[in-house]
Amino acid sequence: MIDQLQSQALALWEKIHPQMVKPPRLSYLLQSRDHILIFWFEQGNKSDQPVLISKIPRTKSFNAPLEQSLDLLNRLRPSLTPPLVNTIPVRVFAGKVNELSHVVMTAMPGEPIMIPGNNRLGRRTVLEHLSAFQDWLTEFQSQTYLDNQVYDFPGWQEIFARQRRETFSAIPQAGQFQQISGTISRRLANRPIPCTWGYGDAHHSNILLQNGKVSGIIDWVGVQQSQWFFIDWYYFIFFYALEFFKKNQAVDRQIQLRMAISTTMGIKEHWLADIFQEKTRQFLAVYAFDPDLNPDFLLAFLQQLYWPREKARLIQEAFAIYNQRPSRSEQES
């Protein structure tokens, strides 16, 4: 199977690396998660940078999502301009091996974002990480903004109500949370919610940095042609906060989750919240949204987030923190 994958990858060399001489053979390194990734290296070259990456799903049931994301990304990429387009890999369908779809792509430069420690150096690093991703996302959204796609209040309310019904079915305090959720809908009333193309998997480990800037964005299986503008931003900062507290706080998972929600909501219980609040204020200002709506957007994000374990508990924690959060004046004092 490996030989067949390598032959397909080399057959696409000119499409992916038209300026480079094709090597006669490649060495490889396997990595297996939801998909199997094969990193191809030029044999005999001592560089630790792969020249190609192959991606195949673990089962045939994931063929269609992989091919769909390939089609969407190949429609998106030609519309983008440098340097943004250079952060998105070239991807080509190579065929099937053992009935599994095989996609070959360029390897992107840079190192994935690593969560820092809870110290002074960590503060500077967090700010660099959020600033780099914010710059990239703002430019990405400016080039993919959908002029004809916004959710006005009726459309927003309908989608939000459907999410509430699906989410609250397993929560004992459903009535109370329904009331809070209705308050959120009213706070967003008469405000069109812009849509852009969505990256869809803005986990910090998928963001590659070089010299303090985003040099590559990997794993585009979740790409969406139309998505609320705030989804990718909250995906990035929520999971960044969650991983930060997992690494730096020796407490149980439930407390780590509460700390991540509070921090992303801008509640100043940890220095991380100060950075998150300021960067989120800057991000929302691009679309002329008041930073007071940060908690509302976070809850809207969490309601649509795929959370395989105990989604009801996640929402229960988030709504409880939302309901008990201090006012801006209380936080400032």
pLDDT tens string 314-328:
888 898 898 888 765
Binned at pLDDT 50, 70 and 90, residue 290 comes out as very high
Please name the amino acid found at residue 203.
Answer: H
Average pLDDT (71-98) is: 96
Give tens-digit pLDDT for 243-272: 999 999 988 999 999 999 999 999 988 999
Q: Quick check: 277 and 291 in contact, CB under 8 A?
A: yes
List C-alpha distances in Å: 140 to 137, 181, 223.
Answer: 5, 30, 13
Please name the amino acid found at residue 291.
Answer: P
| DSSP letter for each residue of 182-200 | HHHHHHTTT--EEEEEE--
Residue 150 pLDDT: 61
Report which of residues 150 and 111 the model is more confident about: 111
- Neighbouring CB atoms inside 10 A of 79's CB total 10
Least confident of 33-37, 84-88, 167-171, 260-264: 167-171
Report which of residues 163 and 68 the model is more confident about: 68
CA-wise closest residue to 30 among 11, 68, 58, 10: 58
Structure tokens at 208: 């590659």
Residue 30 pLDDT: 74
Binned at pLDDT 50, 70 and 90, residue 70 comes out as very high
Torsion sign (Cα): 3, 5, 6, 7: positive
DSSP 8-state assignment for residue 202: -
Report which of residues 97 and 147 the model is more confident about: 97
State the maximum Cα–Cα separation within the chain, in Å, rounded to a whole number.
67
CA-wise closest residue to 218 among 59, 88, 27, 44: 88
Residue 192 pLDDT: 79
Mean pLDDT for the chain? 87
Domain boundary assignment for the chain: 2-105, 111-332
Q: Find the distance separating the first CA and the last CA of the chain, reported in whole Å.
A: 64
The residues, ordered by sequence, that sit 6+ positions from 177 with a Cβ below 8 Å of its Cβ are: 164, 168, 171, 315, 316, 319
Average pLDDT (216-230) is: 92
At 206, phi and psi to the nearest 5?
Answer: -95, 0
Residue 94 confidence (pLDDT) above 90: yes
- What are the residues facing 100 on neighbouring strands? 97
Binned at pLDDT 50, 70 and 90, residue 111 comes out as very high
Residue 180 pLDDT: 66
Q: Quick check: 11 and 54 in contact, CB under 8 A?
A: no
Binned at pLDDT 50, 70 and 90, residue 153 comes out as very low
Residue 261 pLDDT: 97
Cα(215)–Cα(204) distance, integer angstroms: 13
Residue 172 confidence (pLDDT) above 70: no
Helix/strand/coil percentages in the chain, nearest 5: 50, 20, 30
The architecture (CATH level 2) of 2-105 comes to 2-Layer Sandwich (3.30)
Residue 320 pLDDT: 87
Binned at pLDDT 50, 70 and 90, residue 329 comes out as low
Q: Quick check: 215 and 208 in contact, CB under 8 A?
A: yes
At 32, phi and psi to the nearest 5?
Answer: -125, 120
Residue 163 pLDDT: 60
| DSSP letter for each residue of 278-322 | HHHHHHHHTTT--GGGHHHHHHHHHHHS--SS-HHHHHHHHHHHH
The architecture (CATH level 2) of 111-332 comes to Alpha-Beta Complex (3.90)
